[in-house]
Amino acid sequence: MRVLYFGCYDREGGRNAIVQAALRAAGVELVECQVALWRDTGAKLGAARGRGAALAAAGRQAAAWLRLIAQHRRQAAYDLMLVGSTAHLDLPLARRLADRRGVPLVFDPLVSIGETLRDRGLARPDTLRARLLEALERHLFALPDRVLVDTPEHGLAWARELGLAPEATILVPAGAPAVYRSHTPPYQATAPDPQRPLRVVYAGQFIPLHGLETVLDAAARLAERRDIVFELVGEGQTHAAIRARAERMGLPNLRFLPTWMPAERLAREHLAGAGLCLGIFGDQAKARRVLPFKVYAALAAGRPVLSADTPALRALLRPGEEVWTVPAADPAALAAAIAQLADDPATRARLAAAGQAAWDARFAPEILGRRLLADLSALLA
């Protein structure tokens, strides 16, 4: 099968790299028709902050479409077009070009535009802007023949909110690059002490649904435990506010490492030494729908994972066996769970082994690719 990966999607890291690796692992010939439009997520969100920024972004988008058309003219025959993650606005052009070639169109949204803007505080519900965004997304989600969803909950939500037909969805969990599996040594579960404390690691982009306020409050409850330390790795939207809050709280057991880094370095320098990895703890609607990259990365690395108990998590993992869970937005429960796991190396070792086995069996790139290839082949039949 020859698949054309199309759009102004992010090429480096993230969802697109994972899906592309999965397809290649399954033997798919993958060719790209791509224009780099955005520097990062912050640049994308910046285009939604005002009329001037939106107009400038519209001009860049139009120029990018002309370049995509020129690239597409040079493409040899292919079997299927797949619009990359977050390239929502490229769908009308993609539909037209796919129809001209007589091939199916598949879209991997990963997120809803409206949902993301609401979660980031850039669009209020029940406003004209929110209603226009919903109408736009309903139109966009109706264009592809199939839509990839990272969790069953996302598929249900988009069916309810955007009119996505359930039978048009293909489940492809978010996954994580194989580098997290290959660049971390086997987990060593030992009893922590003040000289060798348990490192509780969060690695992420500091977005609201991660619930880092809950993590800070849990750290405050454990401040007397000199054998437990928290490391927050990364940067993003709420980083400055979270750091300022932590400084006001005067947490001696928490440190920030405000930088994002390649997967190899993250695995080698931070996940390898983690005694426990944190998922997400927000109680927003979106938090209940996602199982984020950070969870899969920790599973691949063979590190025990602690995250909020959500419908999305329960659909894909077994709480208590492959991952440890607590109620969302509950600092007391989070602190108690961290203390319990710190004092129980055997349970941490069991979670680490079972979580990595789950990644090997259900979420490794070759597994995701094999399943996706079967679904795409059925679409072509």
30-47 tens-digit pLDDT = 999 999 986 555 555 555
Positions of CATH 3.40.50.2000 in the chain: 2-175+365-380, 179-363
Rounded to the nearest 10°, the torsion over CA 300, 302, 304, 305 is -10
Residue in 237, 328, 238, 236 with CA at minimum distance from that of residue 285: 328
Pick the CATH number of 2-175+365-380 from 3.90.850.10, 3.40.50.2000, 3.40.50.2300, 3.30.70.2860: 3.40.50.2000
d(CA 310, CA 325): 9
Q: 214-261, pLDDT tens digit by residue? A: 999 999 999 999 999 999 999 999 999 999 999 999 999 999 997 878
Express as a percent the part of the chain with pLDDT over 70.
Answer: 94
Contact partners, residue 331, CB within 8 Å, separation at least 6: 214, 217, 218, 220, 221
Interval 283-297: pLDDT, tens: 999 999 999 999 999
Looking at the chain, the whole-number percentage of residues with pLDDT higher than 90 is 85
> If you average pLDDT over every residue of the chain, what do you get?
93
C-alpha distances in angstroms, 3 versus 10, 21, 25, 116? Answer: 17, 13, 13, 28
pLDDT value for 48: 52
Q: Is the pTM for the entire model greater than 0.85?
A: yes
CA atoms of 81 and 146, how far apart (whole Å) = 11
Q: What homologous superfamily is domain 179-363 in, according to CATH?
A: Glycogen Phosphorylase B; (3.40.50.2000)
| DSSP symbol at 186 | P
Give pLDDT, residue 130: 76
Q: What is the pLDDT of residue 380?
A: 97
| pLDDT bucket at 115, cuts 50 / 70 / 90 | confident
Q: Write out the H or E segment, with its range, that includes residue 32.
A: strand 29-34
Q: What is the pLDDT of residues 8-32, one digit of tens each?
A: 998 876 899 999 999 999 999 999 9
